[in-house]
Amino acid sequence: MYIDFESPDQLANKLAALSDPAAPPLWLVLLADRHGETLGEIAAHLERAGLQACGGVFPGLIDGVDVRHSGAIAIALPAGSRLAVADLAPGRVAWRSPPPDLVEGRPASSVVLVDCLGPNVAGLLEDLYDRYGHGLPQFGAGAGYHDLRTAPCLFAQGVAFAGAALIVLTPLPLTVRVRHGWRRVRGPFVASRTQGSKVLELNWESAGAFYRRQVEEENPALAGRPVFPDLNSTYPLGVGKEGSEDVIRDPMGIDESDQGIAFLSDMRENALMYLVHGDRHSLIAAAREAVAACGAPSGVEACLVSDCFSRALMLGEAFPEELAAVGEELAHFTGVRPQGVLALGEIATDGGQPIEFFNKTFVVALTHAGP
């Protein structure tokens, strides 16, 4: 539920009032990034109030058809949910305490929040994949600020932190679906040289020039326009994937020093990439399709969405239409409203594939009484 508050104290009081003393929940608190500066205070107040809570800040909050830039979306994860925090470093994922064993309590799903500007996000996801394997639906989002500043954007156990990730294993049955609505327009290209989250070469050429050329050839109107936010908003790149949608990667800019394209997540060398393109119709249709793909389960208790901030930027004034479409589609089988975040990267797996970090993608997760 959305909670508006003026002070950390007020938020703590409200959450305390909402808590069931008999079965205190683990509160997942998704905050608008305007509260980032008081994130530490909020974490401390919640801790002092005796609340179990974790969460992060995001460029925007989704509350039904509205996008909010203040307040919090609070989701009460049921008692028995277990939290773990990992610090991320290049080549290393360091858990602060042993992450919960999958077998313990038979968790039905997990929620993952990660500092999208932190290192080794790919390593974290591979660790989670190795650790929990397939069969576990996972839903999550990249936390951070709309201006991509580097600052603490996550909190748990009374403190705020950056460069880290948190995972909550919950007994909640979760249906996760992912759609983006982008289609291949050029390619394939080979990411012939990569370095972390930067692609230095595409098809053995300088990646930046190659990308710009491909976009400009596809849409001469964009000639000479900046990569961010003009080129990337309508012509991102996709990493080819057999049997499912390509994984969209959002070029954030071209490094003038090496002409490499910067992304928000690691890029696999020699991966096949495509120039993809979408419009308001394909993207909104994709969101609607994602909800529909959930299969109209019965007993839906909540609808969580992780929609990409850059996708909202791209849709602009049409973005509420996407949310409305999601609401309409939901209304076919449940009365719950979508609530969630505008994320800097979306995290999801439906349990049948490796967990993946997406850009410019819509992720919906329905919690319900049973499968």
Shortest gap between Cβ of 341 and another protein (angstroms)?
25
At residue 251, φ and ψ (nearest 5 deg) are: -65, 125
Give dist(CA 349, CA 328) in Å, integer.
24
Shortest gap between Cβ of 190 and another protein (angstroms)?
6
Give dist(CA 112, CA 128) in Å, integer.
10
State which of positions 169-188 bind another protein (CB under 8 A). 184-185, 187-188
State which of positions 134-173 bind another protein (CB under 8 A). 134-135
Give dist(CA 53, CA 337) in Å, integer.
23
In the sheet with 247-249, reading across from the earlier edge strand, the strands are 183-190, 272-277, 237-239, 247-249
Nearest of 281, 272, 284, 273 to residue 250 by alpha carbon: 273
Please pick, from the candidates 130, 147, 256, 317, the single residue that binds another protein as defined by CB under 8 A: 130
Determine, following the binding rule CB under 8 A, whether residue 131 of this chain makes contact with another protein.
Answer: yes
Shortest gap between Cβ of 153 and another protein (angstroms)?
27
Nearest of 101, 71, 105, 67 to residue 84 by alpha carbon: 101
Cβ nearer to another protein, comparing 6 with 242:
242
Shortest gap between Cβ of 215 and another protein (angstroms)?
16
Shortest gap between Cβ of 364 and another protein (angstroms)?
18
Shortest gap between Cβ of 250 and another protein (angstroms)?
18
Give dist(CA 275, CA 255) in Å, integer.
19
| Run of H or E residues at 312 | helix 309-315
| String of contacts with another protein for each residue 188-207, x by CB under 8 A | x-x-----------------
Cβ nearer to another protein, comparing 239 with 326:
239
Q: Do strands 109-115 and 138-143 pair parallel, antiparallel, or not at all (unpaired)?
A: parallel
Cα 364 off chain centre by:
10
Please pick, from the candidates 96, 225, 241, 280, the single residue that binds another protein as defined by CB under 8 A: 241
Q: Do strands 66-68 and 346-349 pair parallel, antiparallel, or not at all (unpaired)?
A: unpaired
Compute how many other C-beta atoms are within 10 angstroms of the C-beta atom of residue 51.
Answer: 20
**SS3 label, residue 4:** coil
Please pick, from the candidates 64, 171, 240, 253, the single residue that binds another protein as defined by CB under 8 A: 240
**Could you tell me which stretch among 54-62, 106-114, 122-130, 222-230 binds another protein (CB under 8 A)?**
122-130
Nearest of 148, 112, 115 to residue 262 by alpha carbon: 148
State which of positions 340-359 bind another protein (CB under 8 A). 352-354
Shortest gap between Cβ of 242 and another protein (angstroms)?
5
Q: What single-letter amino acid sits at 52?
A: Q
Binding residues for another protein, how many (CB under 8 A)? 28
State which of positions 258-317 bind another protein (CB under 8 A). 268-272
Q: What is the 3-state secondary structure (H, E, C) of 33-54?
A: HHHHHHHHHHHHHHHHCCCEEE
Find out whether the peptide bond into 90 is cis, omega within 30 degrees of 0. no
Shortest gap between Cβ of 265 and another protein (angstroms)?
12
Determine, following the binding rule CB under 8 A, whether residue 14 of this chain makes contact with another protein.
Answer: no
Cβ nearer to another protein, comparing 34 with 184:
184
Cβ nearer to another protein, comparing 87 with 126:
126
Shortest gap between Cβ of 231 and another protein (angstroms)?
20
Nearest of 332, 338, 273, 275 to residue 306 by alpha carbon: 338
Cβ nearer to another protein, comparing 89 with 122:
122
Cβ nearer to another protein, comparing 33 with 250:
250
Chain contacts with another protein (rule: CB under 8 A): 102, 126, 129-135, 184-185, 187-188, 190, 239-244, 268-272, 352-354
